[in-house]
A and B are shown apart, each in its own frame.
Chain A
Amino acid sequence: RKEVEQDPGPFNVPEGATVAFNCTYSNSASQSFFWYRQDCRKEPKLLMSVYSSGNEDGRFTAQLNRASQYISLLIRDSKLSDSATYLCVVRTDRGSTLGRLYFGRGTQLTVWP
């Protein structure tokens, strides 16, 4: 079983729409959770960290459910510039304090005018 499972999409939505991405992780001992954004043929960049209490950054809201091992990302009022691949990422320390990131395969989003 993969460490992080993510629906690859693609999601095609009009400008202004609300879109939600979900992922699940398999290791209950995982410590930290993130959403990264990756533009076509570019490197991944941290979008936001995810906390159990939920956190919001402008139009973006992330949520973590540790009991269900489920992570979500909600994008409100989608913009053309939101078109990218969104990667669900989990950090797990397997006997090392240095940590290690596990990536989902990414969910592709296209926002059309």
Chain B
Amino acid sequence: DAGVTQSPTHLIKTRGQQVTLRCSPKSGHDTVSWYQQALGQGPQFIFQYYEEEERQRGNFPDRFSGHQFPNYSSELNVNALLLGDSALYLCASSLAGQSYEQYFGPGTRLTVT
């Protein structure tokens, strides 16, 4: 039973560039949530996708956008990267109606220089 997978594991970008991160949910899960975790902080909710639509969004600018595909996998896109976007980006999957527990992927560590 495959868990949540994310790619790439590490990424280095320069300011102003754009980045796409990918997530495949745990088998049987249909809901994907994305989190940003800065160093020394807890994960902060970016947004959540279900049935290929953004269902909830945290306090993040429009530079952060996403997508969910028919196979439930998801992408997180960040445009016009800032130094402050450097963080660990975590994807979590769950099953709608049972989303009290979310399973996290290993994360993508993004460094913006």
Binding between chains A and B: yes
B99 to chain A, nearest CB (A): 4
The stretch of B14-22, B41-49, B64-72, B78-86 that contacts the partner chain: B41-49
Interface residues on chain A, number (Cβ under 8 Å):
27
A-binding residues in B (CB < 8 A): 31, 33, 35, 40-45, 48, 50, 55-56, 88, 90, 92, 94, 96-97, 99-102, 104-107, 109
A34 and B104 CA atoms in complex are apart in Å by 14
Q: Interface majority SS on A: helix, strand, loop or mixed?
A: loop
Which 8 interchain pairs have the tightest Cβ spacing?
A: A103-B42, A43-B104, A99-B99, A105-B42, A103-B43, A32-B100, A105-B41, A106-B42
Given A103-B42, A103-B43, A94-B56 contact (CB < 8 Å) = yes
Quick check: A101 and B56 within 8 Å, CB to CB?
Answer: no
